[in-house]
Structure 1
Amino acid sequence: MDMAYLRAHPEQLPTFLRHQRIRETPVGGGVCSASRLTLDDGTSLFAKTWPSPPAPDGMFTSEAAGLRWLGEARAVAVPEVIVALPELIAMEWVEPGEATRPQAEAFGRGLARTHRGGADTFGASWPGWIGPLPLDNTPSAGPWAPWFAERRLLPYLRISADRGALSGEDVTAVERLLSQISGYAPEEPPARIHGDLWPGNVHWAADGRGWLVDPAAHGGHRETDLATLALFGGVPHLDAILAGYRAEWPLADGWRARIPLHQLHLLLVHTAAFGAAYRGSVRAAADAVLRS
């Protein structure tokens, strides 16, 4: 199988993989199994499958839709999706490299232009996924704050509580925040956001550019992407990214104080999906918002 054949017959890729007709080399991944595929013409692809079939319904087609939508902004590089099937996704291989300050600043400018590409509504026209969990993308005209509370915080708070990942006091703190969320953040029109932009989802390529990968893309608040870049140790050269971003599109006053509010979505996803190891981070973010 070469690239021309694959483009013409994408549905054949699972069969070729099952019969070991394509060289497959495991690589690091997240919740999915990831591998590098080498086609007969030497082309490499990055492929993801669910560890134990069947894959969650719509997960890979959702990722493909998000990548294509982000790419339509023509601002930050995103990998081209070659195959998107219920059981797998395959996209162009991007040789990894190291981040540099100039390229980080350029990434920040590009991310601002991506956000400025906008969205028709909050949410998206396709069903969403974030990590191993569904993401309610039902389109909404807003306003943003109650939408964020109802669609991005409350569902994962409930799952986390049901799984015992948060204490009763933790849940009460987040619920208190939810009850007064409209007072914490200024309203903005829907931005075209990545939606799961922790540092691992910026892929630094051999040419130095930062690529957007593994999105939970939707119309949301642009500050959410910027806030999550600081999680889990932070993306390299975050200050340069923010400088580039703000030079391209300044942020509303007080944006730094709102970082914990925007981080709370991804932190609650982590307690919902992975358990109490992230409980302290959820509580710290909620308390910071309540003190602001």
Structure 2
Amino acid sequence: MDQAYLRAHPEHLPTFLTHQRIRETPVGGGSVSAANRLTLDDGTSLFAKTWRSGTAPEGFFAAEAAGLAWLREAGAPVPETIVALPEIIALEWIEPGEPSRAGAMRFGRDLAALHRSGAEAFGSEWPGFIGPLPLDNTLSRGPWGSWFGERRLRPYLKISADRGALSATEIALVEKIIKRLAEYADGEAPSRTHGDLWPGNVLWASDGRAWLIDPAAQGGHRETDLAELALFGGLAHLETVIAAYQEVHPLADGWEARVPLHQMHLMLVHTAAFGGTYRDAVRIAAEAALRAV
């Protein structure tokens, strides 16, 4: 089994893995997917992901492959998809490295170029996922505020409330944000975005480049991608990334104040998927977001 054969016959990959015809080395993964490095007979490696428990939701890996292809056609640094089947996705192997200032400068320019390539509408042409949860990608011409409130905040607010992950205080705060967003004026056209750009979804490679992985790709607001880079401790060399980005595709005045607003989507996804551990983070972000809308 070499890469040429696998490209020609991707449907055979699960059989080869079942019969241990390909060497697998676990490389971790997240709470959703298990990840392995596959070493092929020609010496090349692939990065493969499977659903961690049971059967993957229908279309889960197809959505990732579609998003990677959409980002790739705009020149974004994303790994090539070699195999995309209902139960597994295999990508080209990117040798990990360390963050650097030079890599951050290039990443800022790469991200700006991706956003500038644009999108026809908010959402995407394929059903999406964000972590383990469905993502409503029904295409919308906007405005952004009402789309973000109804398609990116409300569904995960409801799941979070139903599972008891948020108290009445957080629920009321987010409802107030959604209400204000319905009338929020924002002139930004849809950008081609990664859609789930927390720091863990940036892979620093041994060649110094930063790669985008695990996308929830969609037409969205470019400030959302940038705001998510600041979550969970923040991306290494984030100030350098932003400075390089600004040189290529300057942000609108006041973008810093809107960071908590754009972080609200991913915060609610976390309470919806993982529970009340993130409750305080939702409250703090919501209080700050209300000052921006």
Question: In the alignment, residue 274 of structure 2 is paired with which amino acid?
Answer: F
Q: CA RMSD in A?
A: 0.9
Structure 1 residue 51, shift from structure 2 partner: 1.5
* SS of residue matched to 1:187: coil
Answering whether residue 72 of structure 2 is matched by residue 71 of structure 1, we say yes
Q: Distance in 2 between matches of 1:52 and 1:291?
A: 41
In structure 2, the gaps of 5 or more residues are none
Q: Distance in 1 between matches of 2:285 and 2:269?
A: 13
1:226-280 CA-partner distances (Å, limit 9, x unpaired): 0000000000000000001000000000000000000000000000000001011
CA contact (8 A) 1:185 1:258 kept: no
CA contact (8 A) 2:143 2:186 kept: no
Instruction: Give 2:174's aligned residue.
Output: 174
Answering whether residue 121 of structure 2 is matched by residue 101 of structure 1, we say no
* SS of residue matched to 1:57: coil
Structure 1 residue 120, shift from structure 2 partner: 1.1
Instruction: Give 2:88's aligned residue.
Output: 88
Question: In the alignment, residue 264 of structure 2 is paired with which amino acid?
Answer: L
Match runs of 1:139-288 below 5 Å: 139-182=139-182, 186-288=186-288
Answering whether residue 92 of structure 2 is matched by residue 56 of structure 1, we say no
* SS of residue matched to 1:13: helix
1:52-71 CA-partner distances (Å, limit 9, x unpaired): 23111111000000011001
Q: Distance in 2 between matches of 1:122 and 1:230?
A: 23
Q: Distance in 2 between matches of 1:182 and 1:112?
A: 27
TM-score normalised to structure 1 length: 0.98
TM-score normalised to structure 2 length: 0.98
Question: In the alignment, residue 97 of structure 1 is paired with which amino acid?
Answer: G
Q: Distance in 2 between matches of 1:187 and 1:168?
A: 33
Answering whether residue 95 of structure 2 is matched by residue 120 of structure 1, we say no
* SS of residue matched to 1:67: helix
- In the alignment of these two chains, the number of paired residues is 291
Instruction: Give 2:21's aligned residue.
Output: 21
* SS of residue matched to 1:113: helix
1:196-250 CA-partner distances (Å, limit 9, x unpaired): 0000000000011000000000000000000000000000000000001000000
Q: Distance in 2 between matches of 1:96 and 1:82?
A: 19
Structure 1 residue 291, shift from structure 2 partner: 2.9
* SS of residue matched to 2:242: helix
Structure 1 residue 28, shift from structure 2 partner: 1.8
Hey, which bits of structure 1, 4+ residues long, moved more than 3 A? 182-185
Structure 1 residue 141, shift from structure 2 partner: 0.8
Instruction: Give 1:39's aligned residue.
Output: 40
Q: Distance in 1 between matches of 2:165 and 2:79?
A: 35
* SS of residue matched to 1:180: helix
CA contact (8 A) 1:145 1:187 kept: no
Q: Distance in 2 between matches of 1:282 and 1:176?
A: 13
* SS of residue matched to 2:21: coil
In structure 1, the gaps of 5 or more residues are none
Q: Distance in 2 between matches of 1:224 and 1:25?
A: 34
Instruction: Give 1:291's aligned residue.
Output: 291
Identity over the aligned pairs, expressed in percent? Answer: 68
